[in-house]
Structure 1
């Protein structure tokens, strides 16, 4: 019992230390997950002296924590964000992981003297990005970038873990069995299809089950988050037990459940937020305790070299080749390549070779740990500066919103939402609340009154409204504070604005010709932009037309473009090298090169033909001199 209390005391102290350290991390801009990992290192065998070397237990704890994080990540991902990012994210999560591992394998073979298969194993361990690191740095860091780019990064981080786990497990089995590269056969392909197929199918069924249980059974509001937690872990465990990818299943289940009307959703969301923080802290503390920093110096230089190779070579090339077919700009592909943070997943996978009897000297684990440290320090600390340098930070559409969504008992067809009236908000300046919002109550200075008798709203009033599900974002603009727009933000949206209802052929006449096809000339500017953007436009989306750039300045509640900005300034490339350009840009450059080539050859041919004609034709009569004529 004394040992139990001592272990509990040490564990709670470490969790509290990590929680308090988050305040300092937010203040100084340090990567929060790096702080958690360093606390575990300081408390470990080479620090305070806590000895923890139970690798199977660490893998189990880390896997459970990762399942909780992935479910919450899916639960907070909108279906719209998943749709617009599904294709590039899946390309990054599949082809990107394989390319990253393969490119990394050559460098690992040279620097560490490993065989190519062993280098590929190490590459598979560090090939996937960490969902915890990416979600926390993008969402909590307050980095506002284009929805397609942010969603692609988030969906990639949630879906690339199954591929990395499959590659790591398969390579550990091949190396431990002694079959070598000849062991790659159709059985591994069938195993991959089985894991991904079962993971996706059982994840979808699990999401349906979670929604059905919460909405149809008389579940107490306080028990609803517990039901969701246990059911999500049930999906994770059952899928893994039947040979599927539990990580993919729990992520898919989270996406489905998070995008459905579900009982006590706000309570579930708040519970999941706190639980995810706890899972992050426990996972990184346990992995930090597991490491032995005194073993790092022997492999420090090659490990740091491999980390830099992964950051500056393997990841960028893999991202570029994976996103080549998609319409991402150089800046966006460069940013996606930079936000390839490694985290707890790589350290967890570094345990697999030890469990499989391949890594008796902890080489894979220690190298993966050092690579994660370098990634969090180099990339985690510089995500915002890199986004600003590439010009990807977009001005917010609106400022701060102070609202609370309340669950109604039973199966109500409306939601109850509360807004605090903020200074400079449109509703405080006289904008009317739509009738469909059904405002019912105003609380002013601690006194409640009906909305009809409250008169003009005042600052710090609390307004309660009944609305149809899913319409709260339409009211956010009314109750949001004024978004600050500085000179750089104004430049972001172009030199001047035009109406999206004007004919697109006017752009071709003013800045062309040759900018648009015949079919595009018959469109409006708004329809043209939506067509070039794949059928759906988002705030701050950009469309290049020759030397100009069309920018979506604002959209209405139906998703239609309201205002379009025109930028006449060329966007600087992310790099002087021909890397990070997409297929469309490659086609444009080839076409421009051919045009310049034709422009050089046609005049020469024409002049030769003219000379031959002049030699064979009779001399024309002397033309009158216009030397004294005035120019018109």
Structure 2
């Protein structure tokens, strides 16, 4: 089931990526809906084939989420909002299924299960899973410290409930107490553990935001970017961008006024910029824009390749 589900998810994810990048939909709001529909199609297809729908949906979403989709920001915003609504619904479902009268009896088993999971089972699983990737031990310790909480254990617990497995309510009560305890006790320590292990990176202001829309008949892509307050694109002239052949800066909106840029037009903080690029060099164009916004006009000398 896992193997077939993974194959279905990867296949539909790649097919959806190609379709969304080549088809120009009439309304930008259709791209988030189409992306979610592809993920749901992966779940339903795998389930109909007797495979794991969860695995198919996860891998399809993973492929699409790491692809350069049109209107990527809108897709991510819609998917994030939908995920929050789904998680809220799962927590409500967990609360409806759990009974306060049974919870005191589940505290002891939940503490035992949580202790074994956090101190033994999870570290062992993390070490075995990450061994081929040579992940530093600090990162392994941090991953091991994250506990069983959130939507995933709730979903897994509801499966035996729906299948009416004997003893499923007992498991549900233990998971409920375990999720609550780890969320209240362990979760607040994650920032401290991360800083102690040196694996938490400082939060940087987003210095470049890129949106894209396909121009199907022209075999081109329209990139929309915003020059943030920390961007080193500020003060760089258009000709200093050295974009790939065929890519052009077509419009700059500054302080509510639009202007058609020339070679000696410079960028400034707060600018909204439109760049038209052939589909073939889209990735190279985005990479160059990111490199310049991090390293300035001497991005390559500063080791920034995008």
Report TM bin, short chain. Answer: 0.7 to 0.9
- Please tell me whether residue 349 in structure 1 is matched to residue 156 in structure 2: yes
Give deviations 1:244-293, integer Å, cap 9, x for gaps.
Answer: 11111112222333455555555433332322222222222222232223
Distance 2:9 2:262 in 1: 48
SS in 1 for 2:251: strand
Distance 1:426 1:216 in 2: 32
Count of matched residue positions in the alignment of Structure 1 and Structure 2: 291
Distance 2:290 2:132 in 1: 36
Distance 1:395 1:431 in 2: 30
In structure 1, the residue matched to 2:184 is 377
Distance 1:263 1:348 in 2: 31
- Please tell me whether residue 472 in structure 1 is matched to residue 282 in structure 2: no
Measured at CA, do residues 293 and 480 of structure 1 come closer, stay the same or move farther in structure 2, by a change above 3 Å? farther
Distance 1:477 1:380 in 2: 35
In structure 2, the residue matched to 1:438 is 248
Counterpart selection for 1:204 from 10, 13, 18: 10
Aligned-residue offset at 1:209: 3.9
Task: Indicate conservation of the 8 Å contact 1:415/1:469, yes or no.
Answer: no
In structure 1, the residue matched to 2:90 is 283
Distance 2:169 2:5 in 1: 30
Aligned-residue offset at 1:336: 1.7
Task: Indicate conservation of the 8 Å contact 1:204/1:252, yes or no.
Answer: yes
Distance 1:448 1:473 in 2: 25
Task: Indicate conservation of the 8 Å contact 1:421/1:463, yes or no.
Answer: no
SS in 2 for 1:407: strand
Task: Indicate conservation of the 8 Å contact 1:311/1:375, yes or no.
Answer: no
SS in 1 for 2:215: coil
Measured at CA, do residues 224 and 310 of structure 1 come closer, stay the same or move farther in structure 2, by a change above 3 Å? same
Residue ranges of structure 1 left out of the alignment (5+ in a row): 1-194, 483-553, 559-632
Residue ranges of structure 2 left out of the alignment (5+ in a row): 297-301
SS in 1 for 2:275: strand
Measured at CA, do residues 261 and 404 of structure 1 come closer, stay the same or move farther in structure 2, by a change above 3 Å? closer
Counterpart selection for 2:206 from 393, 396, 400: 400
Distance 2:205 2:24 in 1: 39
Distance 2:133 2:264 in 1: 53
Q: Which has the larger radius of gyration?
A: 1
Aligned-residue offset at 1:363: 1.1
Distance 1:557 1:373 in 2: 44
SS in 2 for 1:227: helix
Aligned-residue offset at 1:315: 1.4
Distance 1:403 1:324 in 2: 35
Measured at CA, do residues 294 and 419 of structure 1 come closer, stay the same or move farther in structure 2, by a change above 3 Å? same
In structure 1, the residue matched to 2:62 is 255
Task: Indicate conservation of the 8 Å contact 2:254/2:270, yes or no.
Answer: yes
SS in 1 for 2:206: coil
Task: Indicate conservation of the 8 Å contact 2:251/2:275, yes or no.
Answer: yes
Aligned-residue offset at 1:413: 2.5
Measured at CA, do residues 258 and 325 of structure 1 come closer, stay the same or move farther in structure 2, by a change above 3 Å? closer
SS in 1 for 2:305: coil
- Please tell me whether residue 557 in structure 1 is matched to residue 305 in structure 2: yes
In structure 2, the residue matched to 1:245 is 52
Distance 2:265 2:49 in 1: 63
Distance 2:130 2:214 in 1: 44
Distance 1:262 1:310 in 2: 38
Measured at CA, do residues 304 and 469 of structure 1 come closer, stay the same or move farther in structure 2, by a change above 3 Å? same
Give deviations 1:412-452, integer Å, cap 9, x for gaps.
Answer: 33332222352x54233557641316322222222111222
CA RMSD of aligned residues (A): 3.2
TM-score (norm 1): 0.41
Instruction: Output aligned runs, 1:609-624, within 5 Å.
Output: none
Measured at CA, do residues 348 and 268 of structure 1 come closer, stay the same or move farther in structure 2, by a change above 3 Å? closer
